[in-house]
Chain A
Amino acid sequence: MNYEAVIGLEVHAELSTKSKIYCSCTTEFGGEPNTHCCPVCTGMPGTLPALNRKTVEYAIKAGLATNCTISPFTKQDRKNYFYPDLPKGYQISQYDLPLCKDGFVEIETENEKKRIRINRIHIEEDAGKLLHGEEDNNSYIDYNRTGVPLIEIVSEPDISSAREAKSYLEKLKAILQFINVSDCKMEEGSLRADVNISVRPKGSNHLGERTEMKNLNSFRSVYRAIESEIARQIHVIKSGGKINQETRRWDENKGESYPMRSKEDAQDYRYFPEPDLPPLIIKNELVERLKKELPELPDARKQRYVSEYGLPEYDAQVLTSSKELSDFFEETAKQSTNVKAVSNWIMGDMLRILNERNLEIVDIPFPPSYLVRLITLIDKGVINGSTAKNVFDLMFDTGKDPDNIVKEHGLEMLKDQSFLLEVIEKVIRDNPNSLDDYKKGQKKVIGFLVGQAMKATKGKADPQILNQILIKRLED
């Protein structure tokens, strides 16, 4: 029998507001432990939460960008549980009246577009971090992250594979970055996902027992955890077992998950309306204003790249996968007359170099205009393609503009005919057989000789002129 997976994701994204959700402490990442906190966010007796309206606006924007309905009446609730990193003994979240609901995003699967429905988006506060002493045996708590605003985006179980889950996450990340409400830095924990998975015989509309894996904090973990859990569940069922509804812990190093908590041990969070915060009335004018403020979203941008720049769907997809990348492309394309080349350079060498050097777009040491000039240098025949690659590398090394690099290193193409003829004469002298081979009809000798001549000129020879001179010489 064939099985299919039914997957739902709960994604937590930290909002990039300047201050925390219920106090004026900074949300800045890092800082010495317990330097970004105050009596309110550490839950000192007598303190009260004062809602930061910006977090509501950011969350509404996220809702609008994912086609959600914004609730005109919403409230906050307390989720009660004990944990040392939770200063008040409860987390302020939203229970039955989330701020945004019933939305969707579109993802690309192998051969089609697929709509992943969003059940709800709600606002809540982050918890602190437990630290374990290195020198002593003590546990410490850092409250810098407590009260950092989060949105939780809950999908419907519309996802059928690890690959789709990854596409969905990538799409959410792109959207949240485009609308500037979250920086979605997974390595800083500002984007994390809980995954719900069940499997069922293909075509069945009955849902199987599901398991949950919490706090997966990289695309890779999400992908691997889902793959592993689907395989595990199918294996259990095929060997006649039953899936237990449980929470499992994913061990990224071992690539395995372990049961953590069964349904019976599930915590009773005793949700009830937060009495310290009045219900929120979301006025239509606010929603309309935020709608107007929304920038072009990734899907719209992608379509524009196809129609306006004539880029292939795939290229447009890659270029709009992150806001920084897309903005870099956009800036470059705007100034260039050769958009196709811009796209090729960014998709090819630029992404390769970033990857090799483990850099982000923001780390690029030169402005988009330098790439425009590099392409111009090629188009004007000042340098050839292979030199351009070296120049590009040097741009990453030094941050200098390509004109200067070319000048400094004398990388202009050699176009001087008599000089190039001399080079060719020397190459032929060094390879006496080549002339005979050519005369015997072996035309591929040309390629070999051009290569040798290029080598002799350190790649700087104008390939066209070189070719012409060589053929003329061989024919003589």
Chain B
Amino acid sequence: MQLHEYTISELSSLISKKEISILELTQHMLGRIEKLDSELGCYISIVEDQAMEQAAKVQKMLDKGILTSPLTGIPMGIKDNICTEGILTSCGSKMLSNFVPPYNAHVVKKLYNSGSVLLGKLNMDEYAMGSSTESSYFKKTRNPWDTERVPGGSSGGSAAAVVAGEAIYSLGSDTGGSIRQPASFCGCVGLKPTYGLISRFGLVSYASSLDQIGPLTKTVTDCALVLNAIAGHDPMDLTSSRRIHPDYTKALINDVKGMKIGLPREFIDDSVEKNIRDAILNAVKVFTDLGAECVEISIPVMEYVVPTYYIIALAEASSNLARYDGVKFGYRASNPKDILDFCKRTRSEGFGTEVKRRILLGTYVLSSGYYDAYYKKALKARAIITREFNKAFEQCDIIIGPVSPTTAYKIGEKINDPIQMYMEDIFTVPVNIAGLPAMSIPCGLDNNSLPIGLQLLGKRFDEQTIIKTAYTFEQNTEFHNLRPNLNV
């Protein structure tokens, strides 16, 4: 087995036993990127020099016993909408193609402090707006299972890098499924934590009330390890929770006996590809065979989740993206006639089509005369959807279902049909609307040998139940060991 194939927990043990050095591991990972990334396009920036320096520094601190985190020396990648001091943070956009932040995001600080080694910044849909990573200004990321296909998005680079062994783990962000859907398309573990569990400081905002940072890993154990490192209150983000988070590795228990697993009728209807439905029903069988009880439930508001999500997300986005006017940072138009021309041209030239579409829609739903019909109504719908999920959780401990109605599709296949793309977010967006935690784990392959994701939805701040259920599934199946054949 090669170093990039190991999990965090395995590498951590090799490092602490001094069987491998952090420099050696980092070097190996950089070599792997060098070999693969021209084809896969996971990274926007690779920080080779910084990675080697950091590796050397961390090794010294480890040797002195100063650093003892399970993440010490583990090479990782970070989605390019999470600010890294001194390193380009482009959001996959021309607009920020020259933006080097003078600060680290809260999560980046935490990962650096734990001794994790940054390899580079990962590709994404422009401003996290998309579900195929095709809208990146820089490049397309290819799905490691089939390079003709998309890796999902918007954290497509984050998912593909983990699966291809170009990073041991990565961070992504999830506003409407942007961690879970690429995790499902690429076949890794992706967690969207409860809104407020992780500081958003330094995450370039798309939709503030929905955005959340989360880990993408090979296994549930790795997910718990990364979550431990990045969770917790941050005084710089007033929407981050003050509650003390538990040690998530304590939830790595192989036992679902007596658990009530909710399966919403609406999650396995005909809109879902048959292969996926079968895989979900197989997962149900795995759980019931282990002594869990499957409860059929219903979430009648599902038909409203996509419009509700898009109204709220785009309204917030239209305001969050107003700061990109060329005045203070990022791209600026040249030779403007006047300030209005400057601002207009900067935004017209700096933003891509999908971003412009979303800004326009968001501006529209907030406009006077339309606010009540759209935004205000969406807020009401949000309250109702949240209530529906809370009610559903009265009948079960966890809800399961698909992540996406389809597996990875061909590059270019859906890019011209935004409505179709939006509709496929149906199973991921309610989680963000209600602020819940949810995870995607591999649960099979379809007829084209493409990974299928199983989604596990938990109660607010109950990541533990998700971790326990997912861990049990992993311990009793082999899906997490499936890897694409990359011919290298």
**Chain A interface (Cβ < 8 Å from any Cβ of B):** 39, 42-51, 78, 80, 82, 84, 87-90, 139, 141, 268, 270, 272, 275-278
Distance of A209 Cα from B201 Cα, bound (Å)? 47
> Please, how many angstroms separate the alpha-carbon atoms of A272 and B321 in the complex?
15
CA A45 to CA B82, docked complex, whole Å: 9
CA distance A183 to B316 in the complex (A): 36
| Interface set of B (CB-CB < 8 Å, partner A) | 81-83, 89, 91, 96, 99, 101-103, 105, 200-205, 207-209, 235-239, 315-316, 318-319, 321-325, 327-330, 339, 343, 363, 366-368, 371, 375
A278 neighbours in B (Cβ, 8 Å): 238-239
Q: How far is the CB of B234 from chain A (nearest CB, A)?
A: 9
List chain A residues, Cβ under 8 A from B201. Answer: 46-48
Cβ-closest chain B residue relative to A273 = B379
Give the distance to chain A from B369, nearest Cβ to Cβ, in Å. 9
Within 8 Å by CB of B101, from A44, A48, A80, lies: A44
- Complex alpha-carbon distance, A275 and B366, angstroms: 14
B237: chain A residues within 8 A (beta carbon): 48, 50
CB-CB under 8 A from B205, the residues of chain A are 45-46, 48, 276
B319, A50: Cβ atoms under 8 Å? no
B315 touches A82 (CB 8 A): no
Contacts of B89 in A (CB 8 A): 45-46
Known: A50-B238, A268-B367, A268-B368. A275 touches B325 (CB 8 A): no
Q: For residue B330, which residue of chain A has the nearest CB? A: A45
A39-B319 in contact (CB<8A): no
Q: Is A43 a contact partner of B203 (Cβ separation < 8 A)?
A: no
Find chain B residues with CB under 8 A from A46 CB. Answer: 81-83, 89, 101, 103, 105, 201-205
- Whether the pair B239, A82 counts as a contact (CB closer than 8 A) is no
Verify B238–A277 contact, CB threshold 8 A: yes
| In the bound complex, CA of A277 to CA of B366 (Å) | 19
Within 8 Å by CB of A88, from B96, B322, B363, B367, lies B322
Contact check, A51 vs B238: say whether CB atoms are below 8 A apart.
Answer: yes
Asked whether A141 and B327 contact (CB < 8 A) given A45-B89, A84-B339, the answer is: yes
Cα A232 to Cα B367 in complex, Å, equals: 34
**Chain B hits for A277, CB < 8 A:** 238-239
Chain B residues, Cβ within 8 Å of A275 = 207-209, 239, 316
Docked CA distance A268–B364 (Å): 11
A43–B235 alpha-carbon span in the complex (Å): 17
Q: How far is the CB of B36 from chain A (nearest CB, A)?
A: 29
Residues of B within 8 A of A89 (CB): 319, 321-325
**What CA separation (Å) do A54 and B216 show in the bound complex?**
40
Binding site secondary structure of chain B: loop
CA distance A47 to B237 in the complex (A): 9
Are A88 and B339 in contact (CB-based, < 8 A)?
A: no
Residue pair A270, B105 in contact (C-beta under 8 Å): no
Q: How far is the CA of A45 from the CA of B200 in the complex (A)?
A: 11
- CB < 8 Å neighbour of A272 from B82, B105, B375: B375
Q: Which residues of A contact B327 (CB under 8 A)?
A: 84, 87, 141
Residue contacts A-B, CB under 8 angstroms, 23 given: A42-B328, A43-B323, A44-B103, A45-B89, A46-B89, A46-B101, A46-B105, A46-B202, A46-B203, A47-B202, A48-B200, A48-B201, A48-B237, A50-B238, A80-B318, A80-B322, A82-B322, A87-B327, A89-B324, A270-B367, A275-B207, A275-B316, A278-B239
Distance in angstroms between the alpha carbons of A139 and B340 in the assembled complex: 13
Question: Would you give the shortest CB distance from A99 to chain B, in whole angstroms?
Answer: 17
Report the separation of the CA atoms of residues A78 and B204 in the bound assembly, to the nearest whole angstrom. Answer: 18
* Nearest-Cβ distance from residue B135 to partner chain A, whole angstroms: 18
Interface of A is mostly: loop
* Contact status B236-A48, CB under 8 Å: yes
Closest residue of chain B to A277 (Cβ to Cβ) is B238
B435 to chain A, nearest CB (A): 12
B374 to chain A, nearest CB (A): 11
In the complex, what residues of A have CB within 8 A of residue B82's CB? 46
Supposing A45-B89, A82-B343 touch, asked if A39 and B102 sit within 8 A by C-beta, the answer is: yes
User: Among the listed B238, B321, B329, which residue makes an inter-chain contact with A276, where contact means beta carbons less than 8 Å apart?
Assistant: B238
In the complex, chain A residues whose CB is within 8 Å of the CB of B325: 82, 84, 89
Closest to A130 in B: B339
Most chain B CB within 10 A, of A82, A139, A278, is at A82
Q: Across the interface, do A272 and B103 meet the contact criterion of CB distance under 8 Å?
A: no
Give the contacting residue for A39; candidates B103, B363, B366; CB below 8 A: B103
Residue among A43, A50, A87, A275 with max Cβ neighbours from chain B (10 Å): A275
Tell me the complex Cα distance, A270–B204, Å: 22
Bound-state Cα–Cα, A81 to B236, Å = 25
CB atoms of A50 and B235 under 8 A apart: yes
Q: With a CB–CB cut-off of 8 A, which chain A residues contact B368?
A: 268, 270
Pair A45/B238 contact, Cβ less than 8 Å: no
A266's nearest neighbour on chain B, judged by CB, is B368
A45, A87, A90, A141: the one contacting B99 at CB < 8 Å is A45
Q: Say yes or no: A270 contacts B101, CB within 8 Å.
A: no
Residues of A within 8 A of B324 (CB): 89
Choice from A87, A139, A276 contacting B239 with Cβ under 8 Å: A276
In addition to A80-B318, A82-B322, A270-B371, 17 A-B residue pairs with Cβ atoms within 8 Å of each other are: A43-B323, A44-B103, A45-B96, A45-B99, A45-B101, A46-B83, A46-B201, A46-B204, A47-B103, A50-B237, A51-B238, A80-B319, A88-B323, A270-B319, A272-B366, A275-B209, A277-B238
Q: Is the CB of A43 within 8 A of B328?
A: yes
Residue of A nearest to B199 (CB): A48
Whole-angstrom distance between the alpha carbons of A89 and B205 in the complex?
14
Q: How far is the CA of A342 from the CA of B291 in the complex (A)?
A: 91
Q: A87 and B328: CB pair below 8 A?
A: yes
The 7 closest A-B pairs by CB, nearest first: A89-B322, A275-B208, A270-B366, A275-B209, A45-B204, A46-B83, A46-B202
Q: Contacts of B367 on A, CB cut-off 8 Å?
A: 268, 270
| Measured CA separation A82–B343 after assembly (Å) | 9
**A276 proximity list for chain B (CB < 8 A):** 205, 208, 238-239
The complex places the Cα of A56 from the Cα of B323 at a distance, in Å, of: 26
Residue of A nearest to B316 (CB): A275
The residue that A90 contacts in the complex, of B105, B319, B330, with Cβ under 8 A, is: B319
CA distance A180 to B387 in the complex (A): 46
Residues of chain A lying within 8 A (CB to CB) of residue B101: 39, 44-46
Q: How far is the CA of A45 from the CA of B321 in the complex (A)?
A: 9
**CB distance B323 to A87 under 8 Å?**
yes
| Closest CB in chain B relative to A123 CB, distance in Å | 15
By a CB distance below 8 angstroms, the chain B residues around A48 are 200-201, 205, 236-239
In the complex, the chain B residue whose C-beta lies closest to that of A88 is B323
Q: How far is the CB of A322 from chain B (nearest CB, A)?
A: 37
Instruction: Give the Cβ gap from B98 to chain A, nearest Cβ, in Å.
Output: 12
CB distance from A38 to the nearest CB of B (A): 9
- Tell me the complex Cα distance, A270–B339, Å: 22
Question: A48–B237 Cα gap in the complex (Å)?
Answer: 6
Chain B nearest CB: distance from A147 CB in Å? 14
Q: How far is the CA of A39 from the CA of B104 in the complex (A)?
A: 11
Chain B residue, CB-CB nearest to A80: B319
> Which residues on the B side are within 8 Å of A49 (C-beta)?
238
Complex: chain A residue closest to B364, CB-CB: A270
CA–CA, A173 and B280, complex, Å: 68
Q: How far is the CA of A78 from the CA of B208 in the complex (A)?
A: 12
B332 to chain A, nearest CB (A): 12
Q: Which of A50, A84, A272 contacts B315 (CB 8 A)?
A: A272
Shortest CB–CB separation between residue A213 and chain B, in angstroms?
A: 23
Cα A84 to Cα B325 with chains together (Å): 8
B80 → chain A closest CB, angstroms? 11
Contacts of A39 in B (CB 8 A): 101-103
Q: B83 contacts which chain A residues (CB < 8 A)?
A: 45-46
Give the Cβ gap from A140 to chain B, nearest Cβ, in Å.
10
